[in-house]
Amino acid sequence: MTDSEEARSARHTQDVADRYWKRNLRLLVILLAVWWVVSYGAGILWVGALDEYTIPGTGFKLGFWFAQQGSIYVFVVLIFLYTRLMNKLDREFDVHED
Amino acid sequence: MDVQAWTFLIVGATFALYIGIAIWSRASTTGDFYIAGRGVHPVVNGMATGADWMSAASFISMAGLISFMGYDGAVYLMGWTGGYVLLALLLAPYLRKFGKFTVPDFVGDRYYSNSARIVAVLCAVFVSFTYVAGQMRGVGVVFSRFLEVEINIGVAIGMAIVFFYAVLGGMKGITYTQAAQYCVLIFAYLVPAIFISILLTDHLIPQIGFGASLGGEIGSQISGGESIKLMDKLNQLNTELGFAEYTSGSKSMLDVLCITGALMAGTAGLPHVIVRFYTVPKVRDARRSVGWALFFIALLYTTAPAVAAFARTNLIEAVSGASYASVEGQKSIPQWFKTWEDTGLLAWVDKNDDGKVQYVAGNALAGKPEFTEQRGAHGERVVSNPNPDSDNELYVDRDIIVLANPEIAQLPAWVIALVAAGGLAAALSTAAGLLLVVSTSISHDLLKRVFVPSITEKQELLAARVAAGVAVLIAGYFGINPPGFVAQVVAFAFGLACSSFFPAIILGIFSKKANREGVISGMLAGIIFTAAYIIYFKFMGGTPDQFWFGISPEGIGALGMLLNFVVALVVGRFTPPPPQEVQEMVEHIRVPVGAKAPTGMH
């Protein structure tokens, strides 16, 4: 651990850490809600209702598409989005590395 | 050049590559051996994780399973990818910040208990061996089919290769070899998929062809010039033959929910996956690395359902109503039918004596085919165990779909050889990652942390190598003499990971008050409940009508996980909170700043 990092780490008050953690949890809840909606929601629970619709120009029933394709695309996007937003949050609270 | 010459060439070249990488990336410290010195670039780590995760089952079996399950196949697709979201958001960055070597390290330190550590070690070793036996078997099958060597010799060759780079290079050797293996396996998966997509739908990208109209060379024959979507045609074919519609499933919704849940949480709790995110330099890299891992996995996982649908359409069209012997002016079976019949993965019983393949819903045989030495009236291999209750005459092993796809679509010989190399890459990379977990658990978690803390760095490294070597031998033994229950115990691996590790780690990070008593009782409750349910239904003759609320053993881990959480929280309320320094440790792992530089030391 370098000196500057040690110093910065020590400067952190409990208050900052708590606020950082709360913001982190809020982000998690939002992203996991999306995760839940595209997989358990669109892919399983509402699959019957969504299958009434077909994605225009394709043969995909909407619910089936979410279950076998769409949810996976959304998962990938969610993780990269999380990475970006957390990096921003880290800088805002000055808890980022180096 | 024929298929076999191509296969020797391509498989030989890839093996030479893996060995070359292993020599270049030898491990010199325990840090190198366990976590590649924490110097792995996140994109490379993502690739390595992809290869580590995608096993012989993903590469060889998954598309075949989906092909026969239709919509229900989504449990694997969502379950085995959705877990990475949990991993990225809830586990990886914090475990990287924690900065030790293994999952039992975290459980033992966070819950200030060597008993918890030992429970974690036992689960890790059990889960890993369960998995690795299947990989070795996969290696043997690929060798015997494509190179026509004995399965046992195939397993021995596979063992020798893994031994070489796992023992020599540890995590460092494995990581760089896996990155190369990822490239081989994804290329081998995508090339035939693209060819078939063009042949059936005239679209280059399988994910788009999947939803398009039939077209192209084979597709227009199937549609007979009519404009019809592939999915609609497939539903129509399935219905005509008495199967459920391809786009609707036959499992109950609750069961689908539970299986998906168990596979997701199980994925996020598997020790050989979690340990990958200890290898990157920073917390930030751990987050990014999971993203890349899922990106690389998604390339295969979004192609698989397309391959499944193409293969299903192609299979029905090619065999349904075709006569076994070639008769002038009649549709007869293709050449690959006989090739795969010879391997025993496909069988035909002419129940109505019309000489044609009647393919309808139902089991053609009672279990797996048992061939006699004789040939039947049309030259087919005679099977001694037909199922008289069904009119179906065709038995197709699920594994054929991916392996025979290039032949079904009449692709060039080098593509077939490529698929063999890809299957081997998938099996070997996963086996190596699992063996490393076993060896680390023994040398680090048991020797260094519990029984012989005074062990030196050099001795620990030697112990790790010896443990890896012994683990390779045991895995090879199971590959040659597979216990009959390999397929069944895979449910175990996920059930256990999901009902034990996942809740323990989540609580360890997100609840400062989660304590030793609560989490140990939670883990035990989760494991015992899940194991009892699986053992009853898989080994003691429980029947599906006895399932609780229709939940199959594959999905029961989801309930085990809930039970674990509830028990851990309730017991935790009535027992003393964790000591101050543990609570401070939790505070510490929640912020990225101050993660240790990549020394790999304790």
ipTM given for this complex: 0.90
CB contact under 8 Å between A9 and B282, yes or no, is no
**% of chain B surpassing 70 pLDDT:** 97
Interatomic CA distance for residues A84 and B205, integer angstroms: 29
Question: Which residues of chain A lie closer than 8 angstroms to B298, CB-CB?
Answer: 72-73, 75-76
Across the interface, do A17 and B212 touch by the CB < 8 Å criterion?
no
Q: Is the pLDDT of residue B573 over 90?
A: yes
Q: How far is B407 from chain A (nearest CA, A)?
A: 25
Provide the token pair at B305.
Answer: 């359902």
B130 against B489, higher pLDDT: B130
pLDDT at B186: 95
Q: CB B211 to CB A47 under 8 A?
A: no
Q: How far is A56 from chain B (nearest CA, A)?
A: 10
- Please give, rounded to a whole number of angstroms, the shortest distance from the CA of A65 to a CA of chain B: 9
Are the Cβ atoms of A31 and B207 closer than 8 angstroms?
Answer: no
On the CB side of B226, CA atoms within 13 Å amount to 8
Task: Say whether residue B43 is in contact with chain A using an 8 A CB cutoff.
Answer: no
Query: B540 — contact with chain A (CB < 8 Å)?
Result: no
Confidence of residue B257 (pLDDT cuts 50, 70, 90): very high
Q: Residue B164: what pLDDT?
A: 79
Q: Are A86 and B287 inside 8 Å of each other by CB?
A: yes
Question: Which residue, among B317, B341, B343, B342, has the nearest Cα to B331 in the 3D structure?
Answer: B317
Q: For B529-538, how does the pLDDT look when each residue is reduced to its tens digit (9 = 90+)? A: 998 998 888 7
Q: How many residue pairs bridge chain A and chain B with CB atoms within 8 Å of each other?
A: 144
Calculate helix-pair angle for B74-86, A14-36, nearest 10 degrees. Answer: 170
* CB of B90 less than 8 A from some CB of A: yes
Is residue A97 included in any domain, yes or no?
no
Helix (H) or strand (E) holding A89: helix A71-92
Q: Are B319 and B357 in contact (CB under 8 A)?
A: yes
Grade residue B254 by pLDDT with cuts at 50, 70 and 90: very high
Encode B113-151: b = buried (16+ Cβ within 10 Å), e = exposed. beebbbbbbbbbbbbbbbbbbbbbbbbbbbbbbbbeeeb
> Among A29, A59, A2, which residue's Cα sits nearest to residue B227?
A59
Asked if residue A55 is part of any domain, the answer here is yes
Q: Give yes or no for residue B523 having a pLDDT over 50.
A: yes
From chain A, the residues in CB contact with B258 under 8 A are none
Q: What is the pLDDT of residue A12?
A: 59
How many CB atoms within 10 Å of residue B363? 12
- Give how many domains chain A has, as a whole number: 1
A39 contacts on B by Cβ (under 8 Å): 78, 82, 260
Instruction: State which H helix or E strand residue B218 sits in.
Output: helix B216-223
Q: Taking the CA atoms of A6, A12, A13 and A17 in sequence, report the sign of the dihedral they define.
A: negative
Q: How confident is the model over B85-94, as pLDDT tens digits?
A: 999 999 999 9
- Average pLDDT of the segment spanning B262-275: 90
Nearest-neighbour CA in chain A from B234: distance (Å): 11
pLDDT at A10: 57
What structural domains does chain B harbor? Answer: 3-225+249-314+412-488 (1.20.1730.10), 316-406 (no CATH)
DSSP states of B511-556: -TT--HHHHHHHHHHHHHHHHHHHHHHHHS---GGGSGGG--TTTH
Least confident of B232-246, B290-304, B477-491, B575-589: B477-491
Token pair recorded at residue A73: 């695309």
Whole-number pLDDT of residue B522: 93
Q: What is the pLDDT of residue B558?
A: 93
Q: Partners of B386 in the beta sheet? A: B365
What is the structure's pLDDT at A6? 59
Residue B259 pLDDT grade (very low, low, confident, very high; cuts 50, 70, 90): very high
Q: Give the model's pLDDT for residue B575.
A: 94
A75 and B84: CB-CB below 8 Å?
yes
Q: What pLDDT is attached to residue A9?
A: 59
Cβ of A12 within 8 Å of Cβ of B591? The answer is yes
B476-498 average pLDDT score? 73
Instruction: Give the three-class secondary structure for B118.
Output: helix
Q: Which of B137-146, B157-166, B232-241 shows the highest mean pLDDT?
A: B232-241
β-partners of residue A54 are: A61
For the ranges B239-243, B409-413, B465-469, B502-506, which has the lowest average pLDDT?
B409-413
Q: Express each pLDDT in B341-354 by its tens digit.
A: 887 788 899 888 88
Asked if residue B247 lies in contact with residue B70, where contact means CB atoms within 8 angstroms, the answer is: yes
Which of B89, B254, B295 is the best mutation test for A, with the most CBs of A within 10 A? Answer: B89
Count Cβ neighbours within 10 Å for each residue of B22-51 and write b for 16 or more, e otherwise: beebebebbbbbbbbbbbbbbbbbbbbbbb
Distance, CA of B589 to CA of B326 (rounded, Å) = 69
Residue B506: per-residue pLDDT = 95
CB contact under 8 Å between B595 and A97, yes or no, is: yes
Q: What is the pLDDT of residue B600?
A: 40
Residue A98 domain-assigned? no
Q: Is residue A10 part of a domain?
A: yes
Interface test with A, best of B38, B67, B69, B71 (most A CBs within 10 A): B71
| Predicted confidence band of residue B249 (pLDDT cuts 50, 70, 90) | confident
Structure-block tokens of residue B443: 């040398």
| Cross-chain residue pair B257–A40, CB shorter than 8 Å | yes
CA distance B20 to chain A (A): 33
Q: What is the pLDDT, as a whole number, of residue B489?
A: 64
* Identity at B195, one-letter amino acid code: F
Highest average pLDDT, of A35-39, B69-73, B228-232, B241-245, comes from A35-39
**Burial class of residue B402 in the structure, from the number of CB atoms within 10 Å of its CB (0-12 exposed, 13-18 middle, 19+ buried):** buried
- Using CA coordinates, name the residue in chain A closest to B208: A58
Asked if the structure places residue A57 within a domain, the reply is: yes
Find, in chain A, the residue whose alpha carbon is nearest to that of B595.
A97
Cα torsion through A39, A45, A49, A53, rounded to 10: 10
Question: pTM for this structure?
Answer: 0.90
Render pLDDT for B370-397 as a digit per residue (tens, 0 to 9).
Answer: 888 888 888 888 888 888 888 899 998 8
Q: Inspect the interface and report whether the beta carbons of B71 and A67 lie closer than 8 Å.
A: yes
Cβ distance B74 to A21 less than 8 Å, yes or no, reads: no
Please report residues of A whose CB lies closer than 8 A to that of B77: 67-68, 71-72
**CB nearest B78 (choices: A24, A39, A97):** A39
pLDDT band at B491 (very low <50, low <70, confident <90, very high): low
* Stretch B513-527: mean pLDDT: 92
Weakly modelled stretches of chain A, pLDDT under 50: 1
B353 touches B363 (CB < 8 A): no
Three-class secondary structure assignment of B128-170: HHHHHHHHHHHHHHHHHHHHCCCHHHHHHHHHHHHHHHHHHHH
Residues of chain B in contact with residue A47, where contact means CB-CB under 8 angstroms, are: 71
Taking an 8 Å cut-off on Cβ atoms, the answer to whether B260 and A39 are in contact is: yes
Contacts of residues B157-162 at CB distance under 8 Å and 24 or more positions apart, as own/partner, are B158/B424, B158/B427, B158/B428, B158/B431, B158/B476, B158/B479, B159/B472, B159/B473, B159/B475, B159/B476, B159/B479, B161/B15, B161/B18, B161/B19, B161/B428, B162/B428, B162/B431, B162/B432, B162/B435, B162/B472
Nearest to B284 among A76, A79, A97 (CB): A97
Residue A25 domain boundaries: 3-92
Question: How confident is residue B599, by pLDDT bands cut at 50, 70 and 90?
Answer: very low
Q: How confident is the model at residue B602 (pLDDT cuts 50, 70, 90)?
A: very low
End-to-end CA distance of chain A: 10
What is the average pLDDT value for chain B, to the nearest integer?
86
Residues in Cβ contact with B238 at an 8 Å cutoff, skipping those fewer than 6 apart: B70, B244, B245, B246, B312, B316
Which of A1, A69, A94 is facing B594, going by the closest CB pair? A1
Give the C-alpha separation, B132 to B483, whole Å: 12
Looking at residue B154, what is its pLDDT? 81
- Is residue B601 very low, low, confident or very high in pLDDT (cuts 50, 70, 90)? very low
pLDDT given for residue B526 in this prediction: 92
pLDDT (0 to 100) of residue B598 = 42
Place of tokens 């002038």: B328
The answer to whether residue B254 neighbours chain A at the CB level (below 8 Å) is no
